[in-house]
Amino acid sequence: MIQQDDNGSQYYEVLDELKKDGTYPMKATSLYCFFRLKGRTSIINLDNVEPLIPLQYLLHSPKENKFYLKDYKGYEIKELFDTIYRGDDPFINNLVQWVADGNIYLLFTKAMVSDMTDMLTRIWDHRFSSKGKLEYNDFLRLLKGYIEFEDYKRDCKELTGFKTVCNIFDDKITSIWEEIHKKNKK
């Protein structure tokens, strides 16, 4: 059951309480967890990525053993990573640290789970001829790979070894897809 402290902050003491309300907490393993593909798209690239909004998350306070309820501000992916690079937003700096420490849990509603499942199936169907669904953690790995590759291509064209590094990125993404396909053939 949600509670409120003296400062007006809402919190839970146990994550399982949320499941009763039809909300599913999922530990954020990276900042990419805050994003999905737009609409009915199935191609993973920067233009097709949007923030998961509305999105609430829990910030775990290990000292108090409480899970504080927060609203995600809906940063666009480019804005989020540009802000991290500049280091000028205390909230983003904290968010990066909280995710790295394993203290953030995203709250998915049944509708969000359904939308995410549809997206993962669309991506699978676009890539493979067999029926299946991409696993969420594999989507995150691919999203990270594609976005980093796109950033590199945009920002590093003039660097020595540009084509070699592009080939390395391409090989890495291809190997992730191959690993996914082999894993799902079993």
What is the domain count for the chain?
1
Q: Per the structure block, which two tokens stand in for 180?
A: 């996914």
Confidence class for position 85, pLDDT limits 50, 70, 90:
confident
pLDDT tens, position by position, 141-154: 999 999 999 999 99
How confident is the model at residue 186, as a pLDDT? Answer: 64
- What is the residue range of 175's domain? 3-185
- Percent pLDDT > 70 in the chain is 99
On whether the pTM is more than 0.95, the answer is no
- Per-residue model confidence as pLDDT tens digits over 105-137: 999 999 999 999 999 999 999 999 888 899 999
Here the tokens at position 3 are 């509670």
Mean pLDDT score of the chain, rounded to an integer?
Answer: 94
